[in-house]
Amino acid sequence: MKITVVGPGRWGSFIAWYLDSIGHRVTLYGRRESEKMQEFNLRRKNDYVELPLSLELSTNLDSLLEAKVIIISVNAQGLRRFFEEIESLEIKNKIFVLCMKGIEISTGKRLSEIAEECLDPSNKVAVWLGPGHPQEFVKGIPNCMVIDSNDEATKNLLVDEFGSNLIRFYYGTDLLGNEIGGAAKNVVGIAAGILDGLGLSTLKGALMSRAPREYSRLVEAMGGNVLSVYGLCHLGDYEATVFSQYSNNRRFGENFAKGESFYKLAEGCHTVKALKQLGRQYDVDLPITNAIDDILYHDTDPKTTLEQLFTRSQKKEF
């Protein structure tokens, strides 16, 4: 298939590299002023991948019109702005695949909802979620991920076309639950990193036991399947998010606890605000979310806040 990948960052560049490696005709799009795109135009590589000559590079949005599938890997909070940017192209009859995890802060909407709201109805929308890091994939270390969509034919096509021995794709059955679970796992990653930074890594077991239950209650209240949170979108992503040295969210949390700066994107910093709003909207108690929000945005002491979180109740485990 002819595919255009939007976003020359860590995930976008890996996805372009991966889809080219399994035989698709791929173009990687980035803005002309993007430093990451300029680096690719100059050297055809970044810290993660080296792009083969078979993979096209473009700074022209018209490359979206030439593709059957448009894969988007940009900052989740900038997704609506990107759709506004391409509105004049009047794109129709394409498949848009969202490869970010997040919730729009200003509206509380899932990313697929934003896409369906902004795009022509003739377009189909899917999400690509699950565990894995480009640093491991490029070494040939396999993993499993999930693709979900409200359109069954689109989902089946993408799973069939994108799967390989490196990435095995599962068919998602709950778009809402997969998106909320995928976004929320980044908040859990920040919490895990803060525990690492405080020397309290032993509490990760308690964190991993409580977090899926917390977010499954939210998914249920929103009309999704509670079991989705226990799949690849959330619990199945914990190894890559809660423990891995490559997890930006975990590393952000660890650096935050140590008072050190971290310059890479950690989507959980934005997602925690959106989740807190959804908790209020659907009347669901989200103690982990609220604790991380207090630490990041209300200057509460991380150690005291997390200790209170894990001692807040003597209720039964489940």
CA angle 17, 163, 244 (to 5 degrees): 65
Predicted local confidence at residue 312, as pLDDT: 67
What length does the chain have? 318
CA distance 247 to 86: 31
pLDDT score of 318: 43
What are the φ and ψ backbone dihedral angles of 2, each rounded to 5 degrees? -85, 120
Q: Note whether 102 and 111 are within 8 A (CB).
A: yes
The answer to whether 235 and 188 are in contact (CB under 8 A) is no
User: Digits of tens for pLDDT over the chain (318 positions)?
Assistant: 999 999 999 999 999 999 999 999 999 999 999 999 999 999 999 999 999 999 999 999 999 999 999 999 999 999 999 999 999 999 999 999 999 999 999 999 999 999 999 999 999 999 999 999 999 999 999 999 999 999 999 999 999 999 999 999 999 999 999 999 999 999 999 999 999 999 999 999 999 999 999 999 999 999 999 999 999 999 999 999 999 999 999 999 999 999 999 888 889 999 999 999 999 999 999 999 999 999 999 999 999 999 899 886 555 544
Query: Which two tokens mark 185?
Result: 């796992």
Q: Where are the beta strands (DSSP E) in 73-180?
A: 95-98, 124-129, 143-149, 167-171
In this predicted structure, what is the pLDDT of residue 265?
82
Q: Return phi, psi of residue 165, to 5°.
A: -70, -20
Residues classed as catalytic: 185
